[in-house]
Structure 1
Amino acid sequence: MKWALAIAAVLAAPALGLRTSARVERSASELPADGSASMSFHVQPRSLLGLSAPLLPSTRASLSLTPSLARASCGAGAHGPVCTVVAGTTPGEVRGTLRVEDALGLVAETPVELRLRADDSDTDQDGFPDAVELDSEDDRQAFRRWFVTLAAAQYPTPDPHWPEVHRDCAGLLRFAYKEALKAHGAGWRKGRELHTASAPDVRKYHYPAVPVLGDKLFRVAAGAYDARGPLEPAFSASASARWLLSANAVRIPSGQALPGDLLFFEDPEARGMSYHSMVYLGDLDGIGPEVVYHTGPDSRPGGSKGIVKRLRLEDLLSHPDEKWRPRDDNPHFVGFYRWKILD
């Protein structure tokens, strides 16, 4: 019975003038190229008299865009088809065609233009453009999982993709950070055995195509981000443990640490490396919370290049040298920190 009524409606539609075209309403004409901003096209079929018309069965819309600076999807809305466009992270002009069809054929074909503008705002004044921050929980969790897995995987044998010149405590953080933000396709995975074979990637952007910053991920200056000034020297492809601590992360209470957060220590007596960093792994293997870190090179003549160590947090709390114990009453322990792009 229902099928019969639907068929009857389709056959009767031309005679009744239920629809001859469609009006397309858009919610915006431009978007910030921040990887998450969105706008929508709402399609409303029109009658011969220009009035709203009831939908015919199988009314649908499709939207194609070029170049691929944004992604589009279409579906059914409460009053007609709706197409949603989500901005990518590259500014530019996007053009395309929105097609509306139903069981009788083409209803409308509308050209689409959309401008993606560079998003260099820093609304929370944390020194990073908003476009760089991971503002969805899915992306934050994806980053944490990759960052933790990559950091832990450097023990006991570092990845050959981690340049030896960057192998120190801060270098471990930087390497895992950059690699966690990459697209982990077959080419990236080749030769790597990791526990995240099915882990989703961060969706908002992929290194080195990072909005505003490109490959200069790390802030090496104090203060808020100033879009009027040059990117350098405020950002760099590298950063010391001191700058990672002071400009790239925010302190959190020790009891709120999550996998992927950081620990920092200060040793004023150390030559040229007074700050030391570690990665909090959480409980990866069911043996309790762990940390991983690079010891850093020995600056003394003939000293070693240093190694990666991974140990339980419980063992670190009883470290023979008290200055490496992550306790709030330890004057050498600076605290637990969280990457600003996650905060």
Structure 2
Amino acid sequence: MLALSLLLLLEASAPVAPAPETRDVLLRRHVARVVLAQVRKQDAAWHPDQRDCAGLIRFAFRTAYKNVAPERLSTPLWKDARGRPADFADAETLLMHSFRPLGRDDATRESLRTGDVLAFRQEHDSGTVFHLMLVVRPEDRAHAPARVVYHPGEKGAAVRTGLLNNLATEAPLEWRPVPNNAGFLGFFRFKEWMP
């Protein structure tokens, strides 16, 4: 009986093997690595003609899937304006057909995960312009705050990054992800990553 008790005690105190990481966690981690690497130096594999805010998201997701789940790339990740699979989608089309809105409030901002998107719509003399920023949030929130990473859209521009909470309080109003900004469309998540 004592041997059985000791065996049970040893089994209970033995280190538990960590659970295998899910595909979702691995994909998000790779998206973060890809976009943060673009801040330092833009990857030559990211075609110069596609270097804008939507292009950064397409490149990061496609690269993450190539590394984690290449079989998923047997069909395009994105949907076109008619809802058909497509390799290319501009910012507006990505939002409407490949991402789902999460909300626009502070609670939603706090719940964002890496790979989620902030979306803005600005009216200019030349027409409506959509702009996307990608969220990078450390898995262990105690070690670093959430960031946004984005390409400003101008040819030859560098990829930029900043703290998400600073964007909400210090950016010009038209770029603040807050409910009283009419140009802020909300926070979005890739539909395939929704439960």
Which TM-score band (shorter chain)? 0.7 to 0.9
Q: Deviations over 1:231-259 (max 9, x none)?
A: xxx22211100011010000113243111
Equivalent of 1:220 in 71, 80, 83: 80
Aligned-pair CA distance for 1:306: 2.2
Structure with the higher fraction of residues in strand conformation: 1
Aligned-pair CA distance for 1:319: 3.5
Partner Cα distance (1:172, 1:250) in 2: 18
Match of 2:62 in 1: 178
> Aligned AA for 2:192?
I
Partner Cα distance (1:265, 1:277) in 2: 6
Match of 1:26 in 2: none
Structure with the higher fraction of residues in helix conformation: 2
Structure scoring higher RCO (CA < 8 A, sep ≥ 6) equals: 2
Is 1:156–1:309's contact at 8 Å kept on the other side of the alignment? no
1:333 aligns with 2:193: no
Aligned-pair CA distance for 1:283: 3.4
Aligned-pair CA distance for 1:207: 5.3
> Aligned AA for 1:328?
P
Partner Cα distance (1:273, 1:310) in 2: 24
Partner Cα distance (1:181, 1:250) in 2: 19
Aligned-pair CA distance for 1:218: 1.2
Q: TM-score with structure 1 length normalisation?
A: 0.45
Match of 1:154 in 2: 38
Is 1:318–1:325's contact at 8 Å kept on the other side of the alignment? yes
Partner Cα distance (1:259, 1:159) in 2: 20
Is 1:241–1:275's contact at 8 Å kept on the other side of the alignment? yes
Partner Cα distance (2:58, 2:126) in 1: 21
Is 1:221–1:235's contact at 8 Å kept on the other side of the alignment? no
> Aligned AA for 1:251?
P
Q: Residue 181 and residue 276 in structure 1: after superposition, are their counterparts in 2 closer, same or farther (change >3 A)?
A: same
Equivalent of 2:162 in 311, 318, 338: 311
Q: TM-score with structure 2 length normalisation?
A: 0.77
SS at match of 1:155: helix
Match of 1:164 in 2: 48
Q: How many residues align?
A: 167
Partner Cα distance (2:64, 2:193) in 1: 13
Aligned-pair CA distance for 1:271: 3.5
The gaps in structure 2 that reach 5 residues or longer are 1-20
Partner Cα distance (1:261, 1:175) in 2: 15
Q: Deviations over 1:136-193 (max 9, x none)?
A: x81111111111221121103111111111100000000001101113xxxxxxxxxx
Is 1:265–1:277's contact at 8 Å kept on the other side of the alignment? yes
1:248 aligns with 2:105: no
Equivalent of 1:291 in 116, 133, 148: 148
Partner Cα distance (2:55, 2:132) in 1: 10
Moved over 4 A (4+): none
Aligned-pair CA distance for 1:222: 4.5
Is 1:178–1:207's contact at 8 Å kept on the other side of the alignment? no
Could you say which structure has the larger radius of gyration?
A: 1
Equivalent of 1:206 in 71, 74, 92: 71
Partner Cα distance (2:89, 2:127) in 1: 14
Q: Residue 140 and residue 311 in structure 1: after superposition, are their counterparts in 2 closer, same or farther (change >3 A)?
A: same
SS at match of 2:119: strand
The gaps in structure 1 that reach 5 residues or longer are 1-136, 184-200, 224-233, 298-303
Partner Cα distance (2:127, 2:160) in 1: 21
SS at match of 1:268: strand
Is 1:266–1:333's contact at 8 Å kept on the other side of the alignment? yes
